[in-house]
Amino acid sequence: MAASYPTSAKTFTTKATNDSIEASHVNDLQDEVTAVETALIDTLQHGLKFTDATYDIGASGATRPRDLFLSRNLVVGGTIAPVGALTVGDLRGTEETITATGTVNDQALGAATTILRCNNASLLTLTGFTGGAAGRLLIVYKAGAGLVEFDHQTGSAAANQLVNFATVGNTPLSTNGYAMYRYDGTLSRWVLLVHEQGAWITRTFAAGNYTAGTGTWTVASASRDAFKLSGNELTFSFVGTGTTNNGANLSCKILLPGAFTALSSDITPVYISANGAGVSETGFCQSVATQLVIARNGSVAIAAGTFTAFGVAKVEVT
Q: CA quadruple 166, 314, 240, 227: dihedral positive or negative?
A: negative
Q: Which residues of the chain have pLDDT under 50?
A: 86, 88-91
Q: CA quadruple 144, 145, 149, 155: dihedral positive or negative?
A: negative
pLDDT for 49: 84
pLDDT for 89: 47
Pairwise CA distance, residues 203 & 200, whole Å: 10
pLDDT tens per residue, range 33-63 = 888 888 888 888 888 888 988 888 887 767 8
Q: Where in the chain is the domain with CATH 2.60.40?
A: 201-316
**Fold observed for domain 201-316:** Immunoglobulin-like (2.60.40)
- Residue of 151, 184, 155, 179 lying closest to 166 (CA atoms): 151
- Look at the pTM and tell me if it is higher than 0.85: no
